[in-house]
Structure 1
Amino acid sequence: MKHTLSVLVEDEAGVLTRIAGLFARRGFNIESLAVGPAEQVGFSRITMVVPGDDRIIEQLTKQLYKLINVLKVQDVTEVPCVERELMLLKVNATTSNRSEIIEVAQIFRARVVDVSEDSLTLEVTGDPGKMVAIVQMLNKFGIREIARTGKIALVRESGVNTEYLKAARMAVS
């Protein structure tokens, strides 16, 4: 199972290197990684997606807390969260298929951010499932390049689990 960890750290040189080293020494892969300033000056939030069972994640969490500069580690996998990724996607586009690509982009609320004679570059923001879906839809046109951020996540203060709401709506339909 994949777990999403949110780690609050002091913003000092080498913190990310120490965390990556901890994972490497134990043979764990970080599938997604996003780092940026947190709500207070001098702190950063690291969001990472890590494969492993609950026992492994619990052990990794304990090891993270042993590192200097790590203030808080939270496994937000099962907690109601807002999750987003950003993806830039360059797609082959001819005059004959350009409008179809733009229609697909509109369905996914993607923005066209660059146009050339033979390609379109799209900006897509959303949950990881949306990223997979738009790539599948655009594959038939030929994808030239993809650049993707790691997942970022914040716990929903409302406690509302939107995945539960989606499932409930589908059951009613």
Structure 2
Amino acid sequence: MQSVSPRVRALLAAVLCVVIALGAALAVDSRLDRHWILRGLTLFLALCCAALLLTDQSRQFRLVITAIGLLMFGLVFPVTTTIWATPPEIDFALAVATDAKNAAVKDARSAVTVADVKAAAEARGGAVGSLKTEKSPQVRGADAFPLIVRAKPDQGRPRACVSFVHGLDAEVRAC
């Protein structure tokens, strides 16, 4: 790679980082909170590492540090945040949101109701609302959006929150 000028290396590294960051962001379901701040920060750091390649690399040590930073911020962080974006409780909530939307569309309604989400969660073997315990005897998140969706009726945490904005557009996030 010594035959390629530092400017070309920096440009190629920057383009590769942007492509990986965009691919990782688009690989996640659009109904999820995509952690845009974290993704933007890692892209910024990757581009900073690529910019370091523009400078004259007189020491091998600086080149190694720049390459490791580019690898971490340009590849490892975007890929791992994409892989970790859908744990099992989020997958369950996404399936419930899809079922609730399908029920509303089937009934020719322009909005998903709390009853649609409850029916979809129960049909998949889950429950809506926080788990009632001695410590917190009041059930939360069962009457209005955002609803707390649990994959199993006796599961306390982890859980996900589902809301519907603009009628049929679901938003799912950890809660």
With the shorter chain as reference, the TM-score category is under 0.3
Question: Quick check: which one's helix share is greater?
Answer: 2
Question: Quick check: which one's strand share is greater?
Answer: 1
